[in-house]
Amino acid sequence: MLPCNGVDVANSLLANLNHKPERWTVGPPFEKLDLRPGRIVGVASQPAAAKTTAAAQIATQLLQHQPDLRCVFACVDLRREELVQKIASRLAGVSVSAIMDGEMNDGEAQRATHALTNNQDVWSRIDFLSEPFTTEHLFARMQAVKAAFAVVDYVQEFDTSNDPKKQVADERMRIKKVLAELKRATHKGAGFLVISSITQQRSAKGNANYDQAELSLASFGGSSSIEYKTDDGYVLLRGENGTAKLHCVKKRHFVHGQADNHIRLRFKGDTQTFEAYEGDGFDFDFASGVEKKGGRK
């Protein structure tokens, strides 16, 4: 039982004062992400911004850096074969369309084969959740494969119960219950990367759109529970020429402020790869998504 009295909590902290908590290494370009047991990190973006691709890269890099970590990847919109094709594209440096369409030349096929066969240790520690997409099913699967980390992609499509009669029709209440269940799981040592849709904005003419200039923590779709239950929150912004940015909109335990936790990226769509932006730094014009050279680092 966890200590609940203030003295018990203080004594527990004293006993472990110099003990460093477990923190999972992600590696470049996502090393600023604070993924660890007991934390929920949320990432939101508009459709087709490659948030699932980013989640797949983050998950596989976590497994590569933590040889004992296991992951359950719960993706609602993509088949598991498509997810593995995306991951293999990055690992092999082969166009994802060539892999998906079976149009690789001999060299590309050899590299893809190498990526699939030489990463068996990673494949063996990632489990793809099938329907139903519920926290009940997710937690049962995590327990079965002894996974401490899971990707929920995406949270608006999740429910809590496998029983259709107990599922919630109202999206706001459903998301609230899902986040409450995820938060309870963090108290037992689980960590989550939660992918979210975003709420459309209205232009002056009343047209629905995804204006990047207006995206914020409040843009996480469906329920304010995502804003409150996540420890860290990011909005994935996409610009021109492959530029991208994980824009930090929440950092519960921040020391240096949110601006220092932005992650500047370049996305290579052909190989489904996010890399660190290399250059003199840039400012991101959120309205147009245009990279501005010579900006702040």
Q: Is the dihedral of CA 38, 190, 41, 116 positive or negative?
A: positive
- Which of 96, 129, 137, 33 is CA-nearest to residue 267? 96
Instruction: Tell me the per-residue pLDDT of 202-218, one tens digit each, with 9 for 90 and over.
Output: 555 555 555 555 566 66
Which segment of 101-115, 145-159, 222-236 scores lowest on mean pLDDT? 222-236
Residues 187, 245: Cα–Cα separation, whole Å:
30
Residue 294: is its pLDDT beyond 90? no
Task: Answer whether 264's CB lies under 8 Å from 276's CB.
Answer: yes
User: Do 268 and 260 meet the contact criterion of CB atoms below 8 Å apart?
Assistant: no
What tokens were used for 74? 């719960």
> pLDDT digits over 63-121, tens only?
999 999 999 999 999 999 999 999 999 999 999 999 999 999 999 999 999 999 999 99
Compare 134 and 212 and report the one with higher pLDDT.
Answer: 134
Q: Which residues pair with 68 in a beta bridge?
A: none
**Pair of tokens at residue 186:** 């963090």
Cβ–Cβ under 8 Å, residues 82 and 234: no
DSSP state of 21: P
Can you tell me the distance from the alpha carbon of 184 to that of 84, in angstroms, rounded to the nearest whole number? 30
35 against 289, higher pLDDT: 35
Backbone Cα Rg of the chain = 20
Quick check: 25 pLDDT over 70? Answer: yes
The SS3 of residue 151 is strand
> pLDDT band for position 297 (50/70/90)?
very low
Which CATH class name applies to 33-293? alpha beta
Ranges of each domain in the chain: 33-293
CB atoms within 10 A of CB 292: 14
Q: Which of 224, 206, 229, 202 is nearest to 214 (CA)?
A: 202
| Confidence band for 287, pLDDT divided at 50, 70 and 90 | very low
Instruction: Please state the length of the chain.
Output: 297
CA distance 215 to 238: 12
CB–CB of 235/216 below 8 Å? yes
